[in-house]
């Protein structure tokens, strides 16, 4: 598959929680920003439930996670982070969520959209399995529906026209998941992989010990790169929309 040119492109990465975009596609976002793309993050919740202790309130955690996500974005060269007002653990692909994403698509007019693979319900490894968080599935589904057909069609959400927003056609969508078995697009992120680690480390509230995370992310990204002859890669399902 041909190389992707990010120069002068607008890119929107849409995740459910602070850190989702950083786990899924941040090395690619840093690469795109370096090549002159304008990168916008959309985060549907502020990750209020992302704590294993009761010592911190949901409001405090929310404020911390917004700060952490903004710090990570700065490291990567992401221009802006837009937070939506949904509760962690309760995200559903509702028409309201789709409408909010459509509004952002019509506002920023991205060429490429990165989001989470909604078809990924569970993962099976040799000795264990795990369930993909329902918020991840919800944001992936809502974002796909928002890109097509909703943002494109003049008649979806006609109130947007009164706000001066025109329909928008997204050219390509890239879906990330924690496993690359369905991927048809491997992006060489050898030059920006260190920024991904730095951005992930900015989500301090999420890790008791970042060394473990660093080690599995490094191993996984090296594995994804191996088949293509890259030191590190991020893998996606790439959908070119007609």
Q: How far is the CB of 240 from Zn ion (least distance, A)?
A: 26
Residue (20 or 100) nearer to Zn ion, CB: 20
Contact yes or no for 2/72 (Cβ under 8 A): no
Of 21, 17, 22, the C-alpha closest to 89 is 17
Q: How many residues bind Zn ion (CB under 5 A)?
A: 2
Q: Which pair of tokens denotes residue 96?
A: 């309201």
Candidates 17-25, 32-40, 99-107, 217-225: pick the segment binding Zn ion (CB under 5 A). 17-25
Q: Where are the alpha helices (DSSP H) in 35-82?
A: 58-76
Distance, CA of 23 to CA of 147 (rounded, Å): 22
Q: Where are the alpha helices (DSSP H) in the chain?
A: 20-34, 58-76, 95-108, 134-145, 159-162, 193-201, 210-226
Q: How far is the CB of 139 from Zn ion (least distance, A)?
A: 9
Which listed residue (9, 20, 45, 150) binds Zn ion by CB under 5 A?
20
Residue (11 or 43) nearer to Zn ion, CB: 43
H or E segment and range at residue 83? strand 80-86
Q: How far is the CB of 180 from Zn ion (least distance, A)?
A: 18
Candidates 14-22, 164-172, 201-209, 227-235: pick the segment binding Zn ion (CB under 5 A). 14-22
Candidates 11-19, 30-38, 77-85, 148-156: pick the segment binding Zn ion (CB under 5 A). 11-19
Residue 11 CB contacts under 8 Å (≥ 6 apart), including other chains: 29, 32, 37, 38, 39, 40, 110, 111, 112, 113, 114
Residue (160 or 203) nearer to Zn ion, CB: 203
Q: How far is the CB of 121 from Zn ion (least distance, A)?
A: 15
Residue (78 or 138) nearer to Zn ion, CB: 138
Residue (11 or 116) nearer to Zn ion, CB: 116
Q: Please state the length of the chain.
A: 242
By beta carbon distance, the residue nearest Zn ion is 17
Q: Is 34 exposed, middle or buried (0-12, 13-18, 19+ CB in 10 A)?
A: middle
Of 108, 104, 105, 112, the C-alpha closest to 5 is 112
Residue (6 or 174) nearer to Zn ion, CB: 174
Distance, CA of 196 to CA of 199 (rounded, Å): 5
User: Residues 35 to 54: which contact Zn ion by CB under 5 A?
Assistant: none
Which listed residue (17, 65, 168, 203) binds Zn ion by CB under 5 A?
17
Residue (148 or 178) nearer to Zn ion, CB: 178
Residues at the contact surface with Zn ion, assessed by CB under 5 A:
17, 20
């Amino acid at each position: 598959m041909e190389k992707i040119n990010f120069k002068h492109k607008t890119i929107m990465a849409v995740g459910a929680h602070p850190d989702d975009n950083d786990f899924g596609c941040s090395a690619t976002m840093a690469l795109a920003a370096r090549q002159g793309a304008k990168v916008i993050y959309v985060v549907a919740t502020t990750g209020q439930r992302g704590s294993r202790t009761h010592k911190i309130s949901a409001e405090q955690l929310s404020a911390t996670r917004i700060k952490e996500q903004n710090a990570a974005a700065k490291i990567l060269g992401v221009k802006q982070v837009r937070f939506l007002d949904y509760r962690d653990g309760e995200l559903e692909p509702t028409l309201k969520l789709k409408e909010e994403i459509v509004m952002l698509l019509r506002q920023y007019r991205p060429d490429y959209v990165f989001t989470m693979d909604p078809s990924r319900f569970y993962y099976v490894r040799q000795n264990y399995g795990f369930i993909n968080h329902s918020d991840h599935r919800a944001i992936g589904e809502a974002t796909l529906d928002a890109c097509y057909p909703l943002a494109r069609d003049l008649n979806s959400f006609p109130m947007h026209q009164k706000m001066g927003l025109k329909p928008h056609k997204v050219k390509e969508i890239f879906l990330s998941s924690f496993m690359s078995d369905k991927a048809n697009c491997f992006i060489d992120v050898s030059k920006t992989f260190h920024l991904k680690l730095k951005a992930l480390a900015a989500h301090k509230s999420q890790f008791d010990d970042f060394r473990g995370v660093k080690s599995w992310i490094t191993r996984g990204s090296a594995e994804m790169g191996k088949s293509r002859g890259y030191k590190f890669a991020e893998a996606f399902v790439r959908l070119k929309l007609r």
